[in-house]
Structures are given as structure tokens and as C-alpha cells.
Amino acid sequence: MRRTLTFLATAIIAIASTVVIASPANAHGYISSPPSRQAMCAQGRVANCGDIIYEPQSVEGPKGLRSCHGGVGRFSQLSDESKGWPATSVGNSVTFNWVLTARHATSTWEYYVGNTRIAVFNDGGRQPGATVSHNVNLGGRTGRLKVLAVWNIADTANAFYSCVDLQR
Ligand SMILES: [Cu+2]
């Protein structure tokens, strides 16, 4: 009996610690509006997105990438330009809203169109709130635009990536 109890206790601890270790996978951030590609997938507005529908906040990869899926293989659909991503109509000035499920200390937030960085916000290592908004000027660009937003974490080598399709 005692041995059975010990086994059960060990099993429960093992299961509990797995849950604790697994939870950081749910704890990061993404752009909710205008809807990013991962938001479009999570909301069911784009079909056949794969795993990203369960964790739109988890597009985490090394800093310095310029890809919508942050180099994460199981999220590669986010970089598939043939998926017909809906583009949100905007003016020249756009407010991008992030939802952060973990408020990581932040170095910078960057916004790119192609290889041109159109905006950068420096948080100097501060911890952001649970939501963050940035007003970005599109610089008079018109037509269909793909904005890549990058959240650079201050105390790790990683960043979070979020692409937003716009029509201007
Ligand atoms: Cu995180």
C-alpha cells in the first residue's frame, strides 16, 4: 500500500511539473488588431493554418529574422503568400495593438515593410503592460502592404514575429 501511494505521488508530481514546464509555450504575444496573420488563423478567417490556431502568441524565433513565421517550422503557413490573407483597409497612420500573454522585458518593437524599417519604439528593457499600442506612419505607401512587426525581448536572444496585411 505504501509503495502504491509513493508511486501515485511520484506520478502526480511528474504530471504537475510537465504542466508547469509546458505553460511558457502559451506565454508571449502577437498583434490582435489590425488582425495579424496568426490572429486571422486563430479567428478562423483563414483556414488550414495548422498549430498556430491554438497559440497565436507563440511565433518566437531568434532576433534578426524577416519572416512571418519566425523560423518556426510548424508555423510555416504564416509565410505562405498563396493563402490569400485578408488585407485590412487603413489610412496612412495605423495603430497596431499587441496582446501580451507574458509581459517580457522589452528592448525594441520594430515595424518593417519589405526590408525597410518604417518604425521603431525603444522600451529600454522595461516591462510592458498586458496590451501595447503603437501608432505607425506608413510613409505614404499605397496598395497592398505586408507589415512585419518584431517584438525584441530584452533578456533573451529571441523575438516575437507578427505579420499584418494591409490595404491602403
Ligand atoms: Cu514568452
pLDDT at 12: 41
59-81 pLDDT tens trace: 999 999 999 999 999 999 999 99
Query: Is the pLDDT higher at 29 or at 10?
Result: 29
What's the CA-to-centroid distance between 7 and ligand 1, angstroms? 33
Q: What is the end-to-end Cα distance of the chain in Å, rounded? A: 71
Structural domain includes residue 160: yes
So what's the pLDDT on residue 145? 98
Domain ranges, residue 125: 27-167
CATH number at residue 91: 2.70.50.50
Average pLDDT for 108-127: 98
Residue 128 · residue 153 · CB < 8 Å:
no
Place of cell 507589415: 147
Q: How far is the CA of 104 from the centre of ligand 1 (A)?
A: 6
- In this prediction, residue 136 has a pLDDT band, given cuts at 50, 70 and 90, of very high
Look at residue 10 and tell me whether its pLDDT is greater than 50: no
Position 114 in a domain: yes
Q: Is residue 17 part of a domain?
A: no
* CA dist 131 → 18, 42, 154 (Å): 28, 18, 17
Determine the pLDDT at residue 26. 55
**Mean pLDDT confidence for 98-105:** 97
In a domain, 54, yes or no: yes
pLDDT of residue 42: 98
Question: Would 152 be classed as within a structural domain?
Answer: yes
Indicate the pLDDT class of residue 125, thresholds 50, 70 and 90: very high
Residue 7: predicted pLDDT:
44
CA of 39 to the centre of ligand 1 (A): 17
In-domain check, residue 96 = yes
What protein residues have CB closer than 5 angstroms to ion ligand 1? 27-28, 102
The Å distance, Cα 29 to ligand 1 centre, comes to: 7
Assess if residue 56 is contained within a domain: yes
Whether 22 maps to a domain, the answer reads: no
Work out how many domains the chain is built from and give that number. Answer: 1
